[in-house]
Amino acid sequence: MKLADHNITTIAQELGINCAEIARRKSFLEFTDADVELLRQLHGQMLESSEEFSTIFYDHVLSFPEMAALVPDALDLDKLDNA
DSSP result, 27-40: HHTT--HHHHHHHH
The pLDDT of residue 23: 81
Q: How far apart are CA 58 and CA 66, in angstroms?
A: 13
Q: How far apart are CA 10 and CA 4, in angstroms?
A: 10
The pLDDT of residue 18: 85
The pLDDT of residue 71: 77
Query: Which of 36, 32, 38 shows the shortest CA–CA distance to 5?
Result: 36
- Tell me, what DSSP letter sits at residue 64? S
Residue ranges of the chain with pLDDT lower than 50?
none
